[in-house]
Amino acid sequence: MQFRGNKQFASAVGLVLGLLCAVEAAKVNKHKPWIETTYHGIVTENDDKVLLDPPLIALDKDAPLRYAGEICGFRIHGQNVPFEAVVLDKSTGEGVIRAKDKLDCELQKEHTFTIQAYDCGEGPDGANMKKSHKATVHIQVNDINEYSPVFKEKSYKATVIEGKKYDSILKVEAVDADCSFQFSQICSYEIVTPDVPFTIDKDGYIKNTEKLNYGKDHMYKLTVTAYDCGKSRASEDVLVKINVKPTCKPGWTGFNKRIEYEPGTGSLALFPSMHLETCDEPITSIQASIELETNHIGKGCDRDTYSEKSLHKLCGASTGTVELLPAPSSSANWTVGLPTDNGHDSDQVFEFNGTQAIKVPEGVVSTSLKEPFTVSVWMRHGPGAHEKETILCNSDKTEMNRHHFSLYVHNCRLIMLLRQDPSEAENYKPAEFHWKLDQVCDKEWHHYVLNVEFLTVSLFVDGTTFEPFLVTEDYPLHASKIDTQLTIGACWQGGNARMAQFFRGNLAGLMIRSGKLENKKVIDCLYTCKEGLDVQLPEEVASAVKVEFNPNQSSLTVEGDDIDAFDKVMQHISYLNSRQFPTPGIRHLRVSTTVKCFNEEACVAVPEAEGYIMVLQPEEPKISLSGIDHFARGAAEFESQEGVTLFPELRIVSTITREVEADAEPEVTQGAEDDPTVQETVVSEEIMHNLDTCEVTAVGDELDGEHESLEVDLAQLQQRGLEMSSSNVGLVITGVNTMANYEQVLHLIRYKNWHTEALFDRKFKLVCSELNGRYISNDFKVEVNVIHTANPMEHANNAMVQPNFINPVHHASVDLSGHNLVNAHQASVVPSAATIVIVVCVSFLVFMIILGVFRIRAAHQRTMRDQENGKENEMDWDDSALTITVNPMETYEDQHSSEEEEEEEEESEDGEEEDDITSAESESSEDEEGGEPEDQQGASRQQQLEWDDSTLTY
């Protein structure tokens, strides 16, 4: 019991002592360490020592007590802090901060974190340790010059113009990867290449030190280096190329002055490589005008050179057009005396020099003013004298000088005079219509169309309508029975019987249409050119550029503000000539350009670009007419209602010749064997094109309208849009149509003759042409022979032998190849009725005799008889159409006189000499062989009697 009590007492004493000890210890470590609130440090990259300001020192008021007054360490707070704090002296509290690893300024230049100091507590175990407050540490990483400058580009290029000093040509630029300002900045550049006229400043700008000369050097190559502020040189130098251009001259480049156009190739790009050089000026707008000069071609440009009448039809004009200035021909010869341009490549132009005028024959055109009519003409006229110059005039033929209507020029004015019909009421009506036009006196071709409907006249010049500026009125003419005269180039003064008011200039295509008015569509068609400019705008530039054409497409204007888009449009401008056979020659081409800058003024003077298009000579077609050129027909066919077809197998072919390479395999070659060194071969190709005229003329005597004519089916002509005119010379078919249609129409031409007694042959010539005589065919001549035969219908008693007698008439259509086989004497031989009876009787008697002879000889001459029968059959076939007349009252000697024998022998010899003799000739020649020597007449007569009896029935 006592022991348990002692134990409890001891525990209580220990507890009390422990508490006392704890209280005593608490009194030992009474203070927390102390450090500065902020530290700033510097560390050099690639080094771990940090220089702090102020130094890292922790103080504790518990010093110099051991443990409680000592600093055991520093603790850094922050994420991924690359630093650590180390205590150098526990008693003094001195410490340092150092980097755990090498620092990289380029990755992070500054670091910020917090730090705390803690003491050693109250004993070795660090019990009751106290911490200081948290202090902020800012550490800057100092850079070292570890990187060299590097240029941004591998090389540099620039272009300068000779003779100019630049403030700056180009700038080179280098960079440095160092993080500090000192080492990352480029302090200087240097041109390493010696002796070059260039310099570079500290910012990298290169400029020339003297004016450069393109002739001395086209290009300079410079080597440039860079230095940072730490004097570190660039790791690699850079190459700079400076091109020197000649002095910049604004204008078009890539422009070919000569451009060749081959006919039939469609559109041709005129400026495929064209570029506008503006010398780097700040451009705001560009305007270019492209002009194609064709005034010297035809009537202002290349148009179809058909007759004006044909052109009206092609343009859809109705019929009724009369051509007052046609090309001279057999049917229209009143223009023969006028000077022309003598060329068929383009339209035929008539020249009036102030002394020439022509009268239009009566009946060519109706000049009544009661109905509307149209006058159209091409005219070229320059400034002339102050006198009236008449183009077209209708005036009194005799006695008086009254002008019923006229078209004339006076002081650059076009005036139309229209006097009222005398039968109308006598009051003032519009009589003269005046137009003041620059076109009248500019020496250029213009197309004039005047639509006349009495009291009003409308004028179209080159398709544009013009209103008269002055209309004067006058009384109607007095009634008279004087005929009128229509003249061109002057006005006929009937009272003085002379011409007056002569025209000076050129006229072509003068037309008048009575009773019809031209519409605008036809007028535009007549004026439109077959050549001109065209452009196909690329889609990407269509909205950026504006293009405008003039009416005949001889000029166009291009406007835009983007040079690249403008160049593309210019490169797509083309020339097109749609004619199959265009007029060859030069077409001048001019490009005028205006460039404006920001001040809306022409800042760049672009000179005109001039060139020309050479339209090459087209391959001329050779029009060939072929067919049967010699045949014979019976006289009855000439006198029949249908007549004789002149060109039954006519063929029209057109070919061109061209050169091809020798390795080609042409169908037809010519001229290759003449020269073995020739590398090209000439070939012939058939082509298709139109014709506009075919003329059939009689060779020799003119046609006599009383007993012969040339005819053609007018309905077939109208169906093909063709027209026909005839005269005592021949027949002319006009109109633009295909060669095939002309063939068909020419097949229908017939020749008729009502009196063929004295006619033995007739010759005709056919000529066809294209483009108003520009291309003319060969002369195709046809000779037709007339076969004369006796007419059995004149003798009723001949009916018995009519088949034999008229048989040659049925075969008269066989081609005789140029022989007149029957003369007038032979044609007049007609057997009488008594002769026929005698022939029948004698023939029957002879037949019976021959039959008896044949039966006697049949037994021993069968083979000979078969041969004779074969010959007899052949002879019967040849002479089936002959009729032999035998007069038994005459002797053999009286039947054929010696003179007749000689004539018949000559005719027989002539017939045998012909190579292309026909069956009809054979029959005639055999009939003529009756004139033989007397010793052969018996056998010949016997054969003739046998032939005659072969057709008899018994």
Residue 634: name the closest of 796, 753, 795, 763 by CA.
753
What mean pLDDT comes out for the span 329-348? 70
Give the position of tokens 């089936």.
Answer: 880
Longest dimension (CA), the chain: 221
Residues 99-152: pLDDT tens digits? 888 887 878 888 899 999 988 887 777 777 888 899 999 988 877 788 889 999
Strands 275-277 and 429-436: unpaired
Between the alpha carbon of residue 837 and those of residues 392, 517, 800, 832, 833, the distances in Å are 78, 77, 10, 9, 7
Structure token pair of residue 640: 């029949």
What mean pLDDT comes out for the span 191-212? 93
- Is a pLDDT exceeding 50 seen at residue 878? no
Residue 480: name the closest of 404, 418, 548 by CA.
404
Report the distance separating Cα 767 and Cα 756, nearest Å. Answer: 26
For residues 695 and 764, the answer to whether their CB atoms sit within 8 Å is no
Stronger pLDDT, 112 or 678, i.e. the higher one = 112
Backbone angles phi, psi at 27, to 5 degrees: -75, -15
Tell me the HSE value of 853 on the side-chain side, using a 13 A CA sphere.
9
Residue 876 pLDDT: 41
Report the distance separating Cα 811 and Cα 20, nearest Å. Answer: 174
Residue 378: name the closest of 362, 357, 392, 397 by CA.
392
What mean pLDDT comes out for the span 280-290? 87
Of all residues in the chain, the percent with pLDDT exceeding 90 is 26
Report the distance separating Cα 477 and Cα 482, nearest Å. Answer: 12
Q: How confident is the model at residue 226 (pLDDT cuts 50, 70, 90)?
A: very high
Residues 841-853: pLDDT tens digits? 788 788 888 877 7
Q: How confident is the model at residue 225 (pLDDT cuts 50, 70, 90)?
A: very high
Give the least confident one: 98-102, 454-458, 467-471, 788-792. 788-792
Residue 43: name the closest of 4, 71, 88, 81 by CA.
81
One-letter amino acid for residue 29 of the chain: N
Residue 470 pLDDT: 87
What is the Cα 365 distance to its own chain's centre? 39
User: Residues for the chain: how many in total?
Assistant: 954
- Is a pLDDT exceeding 60 seen at residue 928? no
Stronger pLDDT, 540 or 892, i.e. the higher one = 540
- Is a pLDDT exceeding 90 seen at residue 588? yes
Residue 43 pLDDT: 85
Report the distance separating Cα 422 and Cα 419, nearest Å. Answer: 9
Give the position of tokens 């068609």.
Answer: 525
- Is a pLDDT exceeding 80 seen at residue 909? no
Alpha helices in 497-591 (DSSP H): 520-527, 563-571
- Is a pLDDT exceeding 70 seen at residue 945? no
Q: Which residues of 382-410 are buried (b: 16+ CB within 10 A; e: fewer)?
A: eebeeebbbbbbbbbbeebebbbbbbbbb
Structure token pair of residue 599: 């001040």
- Is a pLDDT exceeding 50 seen at residue 871? no
Q: How confident is the model at residue 515 (pLDDT cuts 50, 70, 90)?
A: low
Q: Which residues of 838-867 are buried (b: 16+ CB within 10 A; e: fewer)?
A: bbeebbeebbeeeeeeeeeeeeeeeeeeee
What mean pLDDT comes out for the span 551-576? 90
Residue 610 pLDDT: 93
Report the distance separating Cα 43 and Cα 84, nearest Å. Answer: 13
What mean pLDDT comes out for the span 542-552? 85
For residues 744 and 729, the answer to whether their CB atoms sit within 8 Å is no
Residues 769-815: pLDDT tens digits? 988 888 899 999 999 999 987 654 443 333 333 333 333 333 333 33
Q: How confident is the model at residue 891 (pLDDT cuts 50, 70, 90)?
A: very low
- Is a pLDDT exceeding 50 seen at residue 449? yes
Q: How confident is the model at residue 179 (pLDDT cuts 50, 70, 90)?
A: confident
Residues 381-438: pLDDT tens digits? 988 767 899 999 988 888 888 888 889 999 889 999 887 766 556 677 788 899 999 8
Angle (nearest 5°) at CA 922 between 919 and 924 = 115
CB atoms within 10 A of CB 888: 11
Stronger pLDDT, 950 or 334, i.e. the higher one = 334
Structure token pair of residue 404: 């019923």
Report the distance separating Cα 448 and Cα 379, nearest Å. Answer: 8
652 forms beta bridges with 625
- Is a pLDDT exceeding 50 seen at residue 862? yes
SS (H, E, C) 860-900: CCHHHHHHHHHHHHHHHHHCCCCCCCCCCCCCHHHHCCHHH
For residues 405 and 394, the answer to whether their CB atoms sit within 8 Å is yes
Stronger pLDDT, 732 or 482, i.e. the higher one = 732
What mean pLDDT comes out for the span 853-857? 68
